[in-house]
Every structure is written in structure tokens, then in C-alpha cells.
Structure 1
């Protein structure tokens, strides 16, 4: 064999090895590889967005078994910081970024994946069915401490809310409390699920949660100029129910690879059906 032939054979062999490596690593083609080598991304942040991320992860991994999507909560502030500092591939938030976060993480790109409403929830045995925004504000700033002050029975109000990392708390503070201080008696939880569980077990409790957290509790209507507006999808999408907001997934720069494919899946027809299935509002038809 001549030197020229040996060189050509070596080139072909190296090229074959390189192609095999790229295929194994999932770098060839537009979808995750079905090879034994897993691709992984991390998604963290808002517990409001968490049900969407989890259900989408399940459906995506069923279709692409080689993909590994690790999803966790922690609150909107956690998600923003994690994606901004590069410790997560995708962050989740139920509020917009604060000016200092925009300045600190200028590369963050927002992806509007769904809409949501904040519901006031009470124990199913509570006789109160509606509150005005002033009544809700009075409960959460400590003005009202007994349910009989807002049309209910003689029972102490147990005020339940989110911790300081929560985007839901931030939105609730701005819209309902008008940035007044929360009552010092408020019991704080780091997730929507924690509030839901507390209220479902406590007859005097009131809490606020996203749309997907109503099992075992009663959602209150809002009294708007004497009319009870229920937190139904029709009222929320029609802008009749006022406490609503967008939900975002965040990336540091435009996403690529598995992060891009996962976000594209959430915005697809199937992904937006998943959004609706967990009681949130799709943003794509």
C-alpha cells in the first residue's frame, strides 16, 4: 500500500469515528438523539409555572427518551438568578424582571408560555364566597382579623401567603396590597402547593395561588362594583377577572439545542394543550 493510499484510508477512518461521535452525542439532526447517551438540561424557578414544565417534560421525554430534563421549583427569584448566572438552562418566573435583574442579567430572553390568574382560596366550609379587593387588602395588611368583618362567621382569619422569593407574592403585593406591608401574622410557604395544603386543612385560612392549585379548596369570586366575578377561564381570558398575569420561561441568550427543542415543544399545539390541561391559559391557538 502506498503512502497516499494509507493517508486516504486514515482520513476516512477518522471521519467515520467523528460522525459516530456526533451521532452519539446527539449533535446530528434537529431532534434529540435516541442513542444511549443522554442530553440533559435543568429547568428551575416559579412553582406556578412548575406544573406546565413537569407535564411538558413527561410528554417530551416519552417522545425523545434520550432527553433528560430536570425540573425543580424554588420561586421566581431563584429561576431568574439561576438562568442569569448559568446554573440552569431555563428559568421559570410568574413575574416580570425587576430593573436590577435586567441590569444584572442583560442577556436574559423571556419566552411567554402561558397566562395565569391569582386566586384567593379558603377552606370549603367557609361561608364567604366573595371578597372585594379592599376586603382582601384588609385581610392581608392585618386590618381584618375575623371572618365576621368581611361577611363570614365568627372565626379568626389565618393569613397564608408566599415567601419573599415568590413571583406570585410580588404580583399580589403590587396589585392587591398596593405595596403595603403584609400582616406580621402571615404564615409563609415556599410553594403554591404548600399554601393549597394548609388552606385545605385549616377552616379559618385564606391563601392565594395560581390557577392550577384548587383541589380541596374553594376559590373566591371577586366583588367588582357589586358583581361577583368568578375566576373562570372565560372571565380571565375576557379580562373580567382582574388579577391575571403572564408566565415566562427564561434563557440566557437565544436558546439552542435541547433547550430550544423543549421550548418549541411547549409552544406547539401539543404543548399548549398541556398548558390548558393543567388549568392555565394557552397563548398560542
Structure 2
């Protein structure tokens, strides 16, 4: 009878599973946590689950992979594929405690939340003129300008396209017409137009080059905090057609694809099909970033189609089943972004990994102004950097600089000391990095310091509830690097203390070289690994 009953249970479970395949369910894990998914199939002791991208907050690839759902449920799993905005994952039957069928047509997003577990105008007639990056100029700059003008009390605000990648924002202020010009032909053009006094604000999706600093030196030090303004964080997303079965690549594979060394998707784990290449043009800061982080001075394949416009590039990739392209995060549109590895962790671009600049292809977006900028220009910059201005950055789907708390996915690869911290603390959305070969904070970190101090004060964190965690690259001995990482964290402690926030010196943690976020084989990777993170406890 016992044998008969056991087999009957197995048969009933199998029949129920067959009935449920393809329907939306709440998957309840053995530990009581739950998430929403569809059962795609059940094979050899595993459930294959289909999960909409909208249900997933973070993905961390490794052995195993980890997924965090929007209801903060974490699952260790194997990601099989990511196609048409859906993840397919493999979960052991033994991990699943139950399956609750959802009513037809139930909204998954809403149900998930219920699961328990000013100066004068210039001679051109413009208030100011913004030239440069298409990444900034297409959507973000117009939105910031319109809100700034509205806050001034301007009325009848309109946007007019003058030519391709050129627009004018006009309004009435105190009975007078005011205008702002926005031309978006690429970061390089912004620096050239600053030099020739054709614009007042340079927009750039890369940092100014030393040769450009020299040319513009008569207008001040363009790398000083007075003239260089980090306004947002973006990630250069690598994206493909939604039907493409490939969902992750490493930077070496991407380089080989764009140089033409790899020409078929089957060479990187996909279906056998020729790869079609799409890229931004040479004037683009997006191209400069991609060229610097990926190409390593190797020539681009002559078969590559080049674009001035991010949106057009992404649209063409989404229409080409064999296409691959790259652009800022807001320009993924109907394409599918890939998770990227540069030799260490494989990281999918999301708000947390890009905000902390852990994502290998994260980058900063800049505005550059001259030393003698007008009051309106200075006021506009301060507005952009303010909490209100940063909310607009978020609305346009870039990563804003306002401080937030995140609970990262806890993985087996974390050093024990770090994993213990992650289990009881939450992490703030900024890392403190330093100028090359210096103990001085870089310009972004100087602004972030003000934001962090304000956040810690407003949320009334006690000295015992703030932790500083330091890291290094792998140059030198492991023992020395632990000490170096502690010293860098101590340096930040004193800087924050000088701003009026005390931190218990016992909460200084030095991890050393044990948890790199980037490849230590080059300067760019080593610079990313030399960092201090801030963690807090409520």
C-alpha cells in the first residue's frame, strides 16, 4: 500500500504539473519565499520556468547563477536563456514547496507586491547653448532644460526641431522670449564648439581628453570641479535581437566580434547565423567609450554599419535577428541587453550595478562649462545636480546620483567577511573612487560625499550603524593590500567625520584584493577595484 500510495502521489504531481504548464503561477519555495513564473516544462527532476524580465530586479551570473525578484526573493538557479524579454531558468524540484495557480488575466506586477516572503542672454539670442553628445542631447538635455525653465516661472515652453539632431527650446519669461539651443552631433563636437565659442555647455558621454583640456585651457581647467560636472551614470549596453539565444558575452568575445575575428553566432554559443554589426559613428562619445573599454586600439570591421543616432541604431538591431549593437541604457528599446564579463564577475546592467559602476561598461555623463559662465548657466548646472534635477535623470531612464539603499544578491563567491556583512546590512548606491595615483577623491566622489553626508544625516544613522569597506587591486602582497584597503576606508571615515557624520572606527573593514569587480590586467580594471563602499544598518 505504501508503495502504491507513493506512486499515486508521483502520478498526481505529474498530472497537475502538466495542467499547469504554460499558465501563470506563484512558485513557493521550500523556505516559504515565492515568486511568479510560468512552468515551461519539467525535465529530469527540474522545473524549467519562464519569467518576464519585469519580475526580475537583479541577475548575478556564476556557479550557480542568482536571481533577485522584485519582491526581494533570491533564487540560486541556472539561467538557460534570455529571449524576448523572458528569462528561462532551471530549478530543482526539491527547491519547490508548492505551486499556486493564478487566476487568468491577473496582473503579475500588482500581485507580486502582495507576496509575503540667471544672467543675460548672449549675443546669439540664447539663454545658453548646449552642444555635443547625442546620448544626452536627444532626451535628457531637453527634459532638464524644460523643467529648469518651468521652475523659473517660464510659460508657453515649446520644443522645435531645427535640423537633424538640432532643436530649440523656447518659452516666455517675464514677458520676454527666451531660447535654449541643443545640438547633438557627438561629444567631440561639443568640445570643438566650446573652443570656438559656438556653445556655452559641452555635453559628453566620455571624459574630456588631455589634448582637449589643453586646447580649452584659456577658459579654465576643464577637469576642475568648477568646470566638469558628472550629471548621471549610464552603461554602454551591448544588445541583440530579442530572438537571439545568446544572453551573455565577455569583453574579449565582443572585441573579436567587432574586429571581424568572430563572424558567426555559433562561435559564441548561439545558433549558426552570420553576425551583423551596428555601431555609433566616430564623433560619438558612446563610440569613444566602447573603443576604449572594448576595442583596445584594434580596427573596427569594415562590415559595420555606423550611426549618428542611438535610437535608429537600436531600432535596426531589433529588426535584425542576427544583429548586435551598443548604446546607452535608455536606448535598448526593443532589443535585448546582454550580461557582460571582463574576466571577473558576469554582470547584467541594472540600476544597482551601473550606479555603483561595478558593471564593466558603466560610464559617466558630463556637462562642461567655462570659468566665466553666466549666472543662468551656473544656476542650470546646480539645478541638474540637485535632488530635483536628478529625479528627471531617473525619469529619462539614466541612473541618477541621488543616494539609495540596495540589498545585493549574496553569492558563494563573496569572501566570508564580506558575505557576513551583506547578510545583515544594505549598501549605498555609490562607490568612492580616487584620482589616478592619488588619495584625492575624484570630482564625482566630491559631489557624492555631500550627497552621502546629507543622506546619513536625514536618516539619522548612528556611528555604530555605518560601515566603510575598502578594496584594492592585486598589485603587491595580499597582506599588504588588506592594510591598504583599511587605510583608504579610514581616510574616507575622517573625511566624512569632518562633514559632521561620525562613524565607529570598529566598522572599518579591509577586504584587500579578494573581491574584484573588474579585471586586474589593465589600469582601467585596477582603478575600478580600488574603491570604498558604504554599508548601513537600519
TM-score range, shorter chain: 0.7 to 0.9
Once the two structures are superposed, what CA deviation does each residue of 1:143-169 show, in whole Å capped at 9, x if it has no partner?
Answer: 011111111112111111111111111
Q: How far 1:32 moved relative to its partner?
A: 8.5
Structure 1 position 85 matched with structure 2 position 196 = yes
Correspondence for 1:49 among 109, 127, 136: 136
Match of 1:74, SS? coil
Q: Residue deviations 1:34-67, cap 9 Å, x none? A: xxxx852211110112222111112123333224
Which of 10, 15, 40 is 2:127 aligned to?
Answer: 40
CA distance in 2 between counterparts of 1:254 and 1:154 reads 58
* Secondary structure, aligned partner of 2:229: strand
Match of 2:330, SS state, is coil
Structure 1: distance between partners of 2:269 and 2:314:
23
Does residue 196 (structure 1) correspond to residue 314 (structure 2)? The answer is yes
| Alpha-carbon distance in 2 for matches of 1:185, 1:133 | 20
Higher Cα Rg, which structure: 2
Q: Which residue of 2 aligns with 1:61?
A: 149
2:342·2:360 contact (CA, 8 Å) conserved in 1?
Answer: no
**Runs ≥4 residues deviating over 3 A:** 30-33, 223-228
> Aligned pairs, how many?
252
Structure number with the higher strand fraction is 2
Alignment map for 1:94-109 (pairs within 5 Å)? 94-106=205-217, 107=219, 108=222, 109=227
Q: Give the aligned partner of residue 149 of structure 1.
A: 267
Report the alpha carbon displacement of residue 224 of structure 1 after superposing the two structures with TM.
5.3
For 1:175-186, list aligned pairs within 5 A. 175-186=293-304
Q: Secondary structure of 1:48's partner? A: helix
Compared CA separation, residues 160 and 262, structure 1 to 2 (3 A): same
Contiguous gaps of at least 5 residues in structure 2: 1-117, 155-172, 404-538
Conservation of the 8 A alpha-carbon contact between 2:131 and 2:189: yes
- RMSD, matched Cα: 2.0
Correspondence for 1:215: 333
CA distance, structure 2, for counterparts of residue 110 and residue 240 of structure 1: 22
| SS of residue matched to 1:176 | helix
1:76 matched residue in structure 2: 187
Give distance in 1, aligned partners of 2:334 and 2:372: 40
CA contact (8 A) 1:46 1:76 kept: yes
Query: Could you say if the C-alpha distance between residues 74 and 281 of structure 1 is closer, same or farther in structure 2, counting changes exceeding 3 Å?
Result: same
Q: Say which structure, 1 or 2, has more relative contact order (CA 8 Å, 6+ apart).
A: 1
Equivalents in 1 of 2:248, 2:390: separation in Å? 31
Query: What is the match of residue 242 of structure 1?
Result: 360
Deviation at 1:199, TM superposition (A): 0.8
CA distance in 1, matches of 2:346, 2:213: 38
Q: 1:43 to 1:239 in 2, by over 3 A?
A: closer
1:206 to 310, 314, 324: 324
Matched, 1:169 2:287: yes
Structure 1: runs of 5+ lacking an equivalent? 1-29
Q: Distance in 2 between matches of 1:228 and 1:98?
A: 29
Whether the 8 Å CA contact 2:252–2:342 is kept in 1: the answer is no
Report the Cα distance in structure 1 between the residues aligned to 2:315 and 2:239, rounded to whole angstroms.
11
